[in-house]
Amino acid sequence: MFKKILIANRGEIACRVIRTAKRMGIKTVAVYSDADARAPHVRMADEAVHLGPPPASESYLKAELIIDACKATGAEAVHPGYGFLSERESFAKALAKEKIAFIGPPPKAIAAMGDKIESKKLAQKAGVNVVPGYLGDIATTDEAVKIAKDIGYPVMMKASAGGGGKGMRLAWSEKDVREGFEATKREGLSSFGDDRVFIEKFIEQPRHIEIQVLGDQHGNILYLGERECSIQRRHQKVVEEAPSPFVTPEMRKAMGEQAVALARAVGYYSAGTVELIVSGADTTGKSFYFLEMNTRLQVEHPVTEEVTGLDLVEQMIRVAAGEKLELSQDDVELNGWSVENRVYAEDPYRHFLPSTGRLIRYRPSPEKRDGIVVRVDDGVFEGGEVSMFYDPMIAKLVTWAPTREAAIDAQVAALDAFEIDGIGHNVDFLSALMQNPRFREGNITTNFIAEEYPEGFEGAPADSQLIVDLVAIAAMIETTREARAGQISDQLHSPIEPPRDHSVKVGGEVHRVHIEPFEGGTMASVDGGAPVEIFGSWTPGQRLLGLTIGGRQRTVRVARNGRKWELTTRGAKHKVQVLDPHVAELSVHMIEKVPPDLSRLLLAPMPGLVTRLDVKTGDKVEPGQTVAIMEAMKMENILRAPKAATVKATPVKAGESVAVDQVIVEFE
């Protein structure tokens, strides 16, 4: 077994590998860029080596620096994590040349599966189902249009060397192909150094299901069940679960055997994933097709670990050290259900725009007992920074329970207790997904988010019981605040007793609440209804409030927003105003503040780089016309004209970095 390994990665996956290595008694070496000098993975490792500036191209992607770090520290092997150099054949070969073990598959398997076009040809030879499409080189947009017509719309354009949801465009018409083909080529070139694009039929009502494979260097290859990864946004996975609610034992066996056949055809060993597109419309389960093989550890590997009881990182290390797998296919059993949510630095209330900055507060959900597992894999810390240079993922929240429903419920409870301040995040959105009736039924496709939230996300809908509970909680909080204010010293009179009656405004409606404190709690009556007991108390300044109201467990994040309370729970922020009844009667006469008109301005929706500006002063634009292109968080974003107008000014030029809400174009 290795005595020391180097982790050629950063963030949560570096921390994840280090934890397993330490448990195995293996010393670890971390590498870091200037942006990650204080990162958790650097502190966790036994040693750390500085690589270079923040851009990955000048640090984490420089294979020679990784090899130099191995030589300097005596590391015998390298675990690449995912992303960066994990699927670079040249990196695995360079390590082998220096007699440093690569904790991953052999270079020839990486090469065979790394090219999406060639991998599909290999899959066909191995007897694996493949999606109809054109796998040759496509030189021009006109050629792409002809091929798309021959296949039949809709089609998917993909960068041949792409991965992680990047370099992909869905086209429903010739217009989409003409607009998206060149963008796909650019993304492929900038992200992967390869601008080749292939086109394949887009499967409608598609489900994204993947098979985890594990092999050793002695010819043993197993499949460890499947993961359902259909909940995606912009082709990036958001929610994963194992097993899939759609897959039957017969489907699992057929998919698994094809995945093993493909792995065997390329001499695969280590952990890997065969991704499949499955037609949800075919209840027989026979319509599944090969998409690609990821020759590395997947982001979503924890759900497989939770249902199989295996540590995939440990297995990868043991396989790289030449050990045989200690289990056979018959030993693989799936126990219970596991769900993973990816907590991203993005603002779902602003169309999921990336968010960067300092984590002023970061308190992930605590572990839960009583037969439920809550696991948080992260690589950030309170006071640290979410940088524009890397992936926007903050953490992976993983739950396990005996049933799917219980695992989902555990996610909702854990998300309620997840505290993040300082940057935008998608915790509310994830909670809304977990509560969505269609998701809970398992009726999901890769179009789920677009279909369920066509106008964007505005928070999870609250049922009437939740509104009543929030009204009572807000009145209790306000009573506590007023009681505290009444105890301020040096007042002329005796302490002022807070009022027991309140008018509470929430969601455009006003509710009357009567409060009666008692030892250990509060009795609250809303709109003349029967009193309910609230067990638990709030202290001024307390951010996370856990209590029982009417026998129901509630976890609420509490914040003061001007004269209102902001109560966040169950996937939504609720602005609540608590007033004395006589003040509420007079408040209807207050003039509403009208927000400024921003329709004449095209604002930067996120911090990033303006890579292209397509208009100049005096140009006339039509609604939906491309005005500028921005790059942020390694993704290209098209900014369009909101209406027909004439360009008055362009304060920003191509090549300039901009802050969020900075004016890019002003219209007359």
How many whole angstroms separate alpha carbon 536 and alpha carbon 281?
Answer: 49
**pLDDT higher than threshold 80 for residue 165:** no
Residue pair 399/374 in contact by the 8 Å Cβ criterion: yes
Range from 217-221, 497-501, 522-526 carrying the lowest mean pLDDT: 497-501
Please tell me whether the peptide bond between 596 and the residue prior to it is cis, using omega within 30 degrees of 0.
Answer: no
CA distances to 82, 132, 168, 521, 555 from 184, in Å: 22, 20, 6, 59, 44
- Residue 433 CA to residue 441 CA, distance in Å, equals 12
Mean pLDDT lowest among 392-401, 587-596, 605-614: 587-596
What band does 529 get if pLDDT is binned at 50, 70 and 90? very high
Could you read off the pLDDT of 409-418 as tens digits, one per residue? 999 999 999 9
How many CA atoms, within 13 angstroms, populate the side-chain half-sphere of residue 396?
A: 22
Can you give the pTM of this predicted structure?
0.84
CA gap 558, 636 in Å, rounded: 36
Per-residue confidence (pLDDT) for residue 190, from 0 to 100: 80
- For residue 222, give both structure tokens: 């197993």
Cα–Cα–Cα angle for 654, 655, 658, rounded to 5 degrees:
90
Q: What percent of the chain has pLDDT over 90?
A: 74
In Å, the largest CA–CA distance within the chain is 90
pLDDT of res. 497: 75
Q: How far lies 100's CA from each of 9, 69, 212, in Å?
A: 16, 11, 26
Return the closest-CA partner of residue 345 out of 284, 399, 291, 424. Answer: 424
Q: Tokens for 506, please give them.
A: 């929430």
Q: What distance in Å separates the CA atoms of residue 44 and residue 501, rounded to the nearest whole number?
A: 53
Residue 34 in 3-state DSSP?
helix
| Catalytic residue list contains 98 | no
Return the C-alpha torsion angle 20, 231, 635, 8, nearest 10: 10
pLDDT of residue 590: 82
The model's confidence at residue 72, banded by pLDDT at 50, 70 and 90, is: very high
In this model, does residue 492 exceed pLDDT 70? no
The encoded tokens of residue 84 equal 């960066």
Say what the alpha-carbon torsion angle 288, 290, 291, 292 is, to the nearest 10 degrees: 150
Tell me which amino acid residue 466 is. Answer: L
Per-residue confidence at 58, pLDDT binned at 50, 70, 90? very high
Selection from 537, 499, 504 nearest residue 518 by Cα: 537
Rounded mean pLDDT of 176-185? 92
Region 320-327: mean pLDDT is 98
Active-site position among 292, 305, 631, 636: 292
pLDDT, tens digit (0-9, with 9 covering 90-100), for 536-585: 999 999 999 999 999 999 999 999 988 899 999 999 999 999 998 888 88
Q: Are 80 and 296 in contact (CB under 8 A)?
A: yes
For the chain, helix (H) and strand (E) counts, in that order, are: 17, 39
* Selection from 558, 552, 546 nearest residue 533 by Cα: 552
415 contacts 365 by C-beta, under 8 angstroms: yes
Q: Give the pLDDT band (50/70/90) at residue 490.
A: low
pLDDT higher at 622 or 311: 311
Going by their DSSP bridges, the two strands 373-378 and 393-401 should be labelled as antiparallel
Q: What pLDDT, on the 0 to 100 scale, is given for residue 489? A: 64
* Range with top average pLDDT, 102-111, 477-486, 496-505, 639-648: 102-111
Residues 6+ apart with CB under 8 A from 503: 510, 511, 512, 513, 578, 579, 580, 581, 583, 584
Residue type, 298: Q
What's at 630, amino acid-wise?
Answer: M
* Residue 112 in tokens: 């065979």
Residue 243, preceding peptide bond in cis (omega within 30° of 0):
yes
Strand-pair category, 544-549 with 552-561? antiparallel
As a whole number, mean pLDDT of residues 639-651 equals 91
Angle subtended at Cα 457 by Cα 634 and Cα 12, rounded to the nearest 5 degrees:
40
Using the predicted structure, report yes or no on whether residue 588 has a pLDDT greater than 90.
no
**HEC string for 545-567:** EEEEECCEEEEEEEEEECCEEEE
Mean pLDDT of the region 88-114 = 97
The 10 Å Cβ neighbour count of residue 2 is: 18
Residue 32 and residue 48 in contact, taking contact as beta carbons nearer than 8 Å? yes
Q: What is the mean pLDDT of residues 167-178?
A: 92
Q: How does residue 634 score in pLDDT terms, banded at 50, 70 and 90? A: low
Give the rounded percent of residues in the chain with a pLDDT score beyond 70.
98
pLDDT (tens digit, 9 = 90+) per residue, 426-456?
Answer: 999 999 999 999 999 999 999 999 999 998 9
